[in-house]
Chain A
């Protein structure tokens, strides 16, 4: 079984500042890793995913994440945030075999202030 821990429930940051949203996972098998964003009253949008290969993954809207197998982490970063990045961010894992259901963390609320 897998589990995901998002270490911060809320992250306030000023516009144009860098941000890091932290995600740790637990699994006894190899996993795929994902970050999704949810804007108010909307579904989930995929930001980026790690399947294999390079541990630094680049996604949409200037976001990137780094897979660290030894620390079982997959932290999300952006060098300069915008007001429009205010949203809920979810880290998720799925096993690489079987039917790949997604296991989500509880989410991190990113609030970007002017």
Chain B
């Protein structure tokens, strides 16, 4: 049973560019959350998608946007990249809430130069 799959694994972008990261949730999971983990820090919640709608958002600017597709997969888009956006981006899927457990992917390492 495949867990959470994220692509690409690594990405290098130039400041000002736009990037799209992708996530396929664990089979049977319907909720996808995205987290940003800067070097040496804990993950920070970006937003959560359920039934193709963003239902909760963390303290991130509008440059961060997302989408969930009917098959529950999800994309994270970041516009006008800043050097400070360099981080590991983690996708987590779940069925229902946290009590059922979140399964994390291995992440996408984004470097902005």
- Given A32-B99, A46-B101: A102 in contact with B106 (beta carbons within 8 A): no
Cross-chain contact A100 with B98 (CB below 8 angstroms): yes
Cβ-neighbour of B99 out of A36, A41, A51, A101 (below 8 A): A51
| Least Cβ–Cβ distance between A94 and chain B, in angstroms | 4
Cross-chain contact A102 with B102 (CB below 8 angstroms): yes
Cross-chain contact A104 with B99 (CB below 8 angstroms): no
Query: B42, B48, B104: which has the most chain A beta carbons within 10 Å?
Result: B42
| Least Cβ–Cβ distance between B44 and chain A, in angstroms | 7
Range of interface residues on A (Cβ < 8 Å): 20 to 34
In the complex the two chains form, what is the Cα distance from A4 to B58 in whole Å? 16
- Given A42-B106, A43-B106, A44-B104: A102 in contact with B97 (beta carbons within 8 A): no
B78-104 interface code vs A (CB 8 A; 1 in, 0 out): 000000000000101000011101111
In the complex the two chains form, what is the Cα distance from A66 to B44 in whole Å? 25
Cross-chain contact B4 with A43 (CB below 8 angstroms): yes
Q: Which residues of B contact A105 (CB under 8 A)?
A: 42
A31-59 interface code vs B (CB 8 A; 1 in, 0 out): 01010100001111110010100000000
Cross-chain contact A101 with B33 (CB below 8 angstroms): yes
Q: Which residues of A contact B55 (CB under 8 A)?
A: 99
Q: Which residues of A contact B45 (CB under 8 A)?
A: 101-103
| Least Cβ–Cβ distance between A33 and chain B, in angstroms | 10
Q: Which residues of B contact A98 (CB under 8 A)?
A: 56
In the complex the two chains form, what is the Cα distance from A106 to B99 in whole Å? 22
Query: B35, B56, B98, B103: which has the most chain A beta carbons within 10 Å?
Result: B98
- Given A101-B58, A105-B42, A107-B42: A43 in contact with B98 (beta carbons within 8 A): no
Cross-chain contact B42 with A49 (CB below 8 angstroms): no
Q: Does A67 contact B (CB under 8 A)?
A: no
B30-57 interface code vs A (CB 8 A; 1 in, 0 out): 0001010000111111001010000110
Cβ contacts A to B, 11 pairs, < 8 Å:
A32-B98, A34-B98, A43-B107, A46-B101, A94-B97, A99-B48, A99-B56, A102-B35, A102-B98, A102-B102, A103-B45
